[in-house]
Chain A
């Protein structure tokens, strides 16, 4: 290890000293061809490293573009589904009777856009950009559950309305609400009794935990009471296995719904 020079050089020098030195021309030819190969190797390695990094960037950009395109498409489809559902509802409204009951059930299941007084919570986690977020999915779950227990009738996280089957969970660094990624900063809006919801919410564990986060990790957590917030409709539930029983009084027959909590 200590002898870093190739011993061949010393041997060649000894051979030369005892006579039999190679001709100047042949040694120049060796040198030129050898260094030509070395230069070629360096240039090719440089080029291929450059091409490799450029290819990686291209692939990443293309993937990001794909994701954004598909997300835009999904938003458009959700909007068109909401407007179609609105048409169905206005047609039902003229019918009255049993269909009015259906409308009430749809309101309960977050299938219609709603407006009302309530709370608006601004959340921002400054550590999230660096990859070690202080706020995790379970904290958001606790906060949302605290809002429900404080008397909220409808909640949306960054414009994603919560419904019965909504899950808030984490996939890597991203937080998914109802399988749609939400990014920082977040706005959580809740509709509820304007006189009591703010007071009751302050007494919940969720509020306590986020107040601690503010002190420990610099998380932004502002709760303000608002006179009117509008929450969009949640995505429709697509029953894959449930179907209405084929009876003559189909409207009054309860539908068997088996929904797995995800």
Chain B
């Protein structure tokens, strides 16, 4: 219950205050969103498995966002451009699919 309220509150604050995103942060934002989706779906699945832990959820979320941002930054510095961003999206995408499938099996038993 708190969780849903907190999520809605976060979205509301973000939409209402519309903080100015500095230009250098621009390329990391989409990657951070994908990492956040991965963490949220992972948490949801853990909850359905009955092993959810709030601390693990928060730490894994922040850790994933930081590592994803680091890889994108490294790609920029090495000149591989968008290719390392693609790698991040692919890996996180596979995890998102896997977790979504597990949630689906829990919910629909199929």
**Contact between chains at B10 and A39 (CB < 8 Å):** yes
A43 to B50, CA, bound (A): 29
Which residues in B have their C-beta under 8 angstroms from that of A9?
42, 46, 49, 51-53, 56
**Contact between chains at A4 and B99 (CB < 8 Å):** yes
**Contact between chains at B7 and A35 (CB < 8 Å):** yes
**Contact between chains at A43 and B51 (CB < 8 Å):** no
- Asked if B77 is at the interface of the complex by the 8 Å CB criterion, the answer is no
CB distance from B36 to the nearest CB of A (A): 5
**Contact between chains at B2 and A32 (CB < 8 Å):** yes
Say yes or no: A31-B57 contact (C-beta < 8 A), given A5-B102, A44-B21. Answer: yes
Which residues in A have their C-beta under 8 angstroms from that of B14?
39-44, 46-47
Say yes or no: A42-B33 contact (C-beta < 8 A), given A9-B53, A31-B58, A33-B58. Answer: yes
A1-57: which have CB < 8 Å to B? 1-2, 4-6, 8-13, 16, 22, 26-49, 52
Q: Mark B1-30, 1 if CB is under 8 A from A, else 0.
A: 011011111111111001101000010011
How many interface residues does chain A have, given as a range? 35 or more
B53-110: which have CB < 8 Å to A? 53-62, 65, 94-95, 97-99, 102
- How many positions in chain B have a CB within 8 Å of any CB in the partner chain? 48
Which residues in A have their C-beta under 8 angstroms from that of B26?
48, 52
Q: Majority SS of interface residues in chain B?
A: helix
A59 to B45, CA, bound (A): 44
Which residues in B have their C-beta under 8 angstroms from that of A10?
51
Which residues in B have their C-beta under 8 angstroms from that of A32?
2-3, 5-6
Residue among A6, A13, A27, A49 facing the most chain B CB atoms (10 A cut-off): A6
Say yes or no: A45-B55 contact (C-beta < 8 A), given A32-B3, A35-B6, A40-B13. Answer: no
Determine which of B8, B33, B58 lies in contact with A30 in the assembled complex, contact meaning CB atoms within 8 Å: B58
Residue among B18, B55, B61 facing the most chain A CB atoms (10 A cut-off): B55
Which residues in A have their C-beta under 8 angstroms from that of B8?
39
Which residues in B have their C-beta under 8 angstroms from that of A13?
50-51, 53
B9 nearest in chain A by CB position: A36
Which residues in A have their C-beta under 8 angstroms from that of B58?
30-31, 33-34
Some 20 contacts from A to B, beta carbons below 8 A apart, are: A4-B42, A4-B102, A5-B46, A5-B98, A6-B42, A6-B46, A22-B53, A31-B2, A31-B3, A32-B3, A35-B3, A36-B10, A37-B62, A39-B9, A39-B12, A42-B10, A43-B12, A44-B21, A44-B29, A47-B14
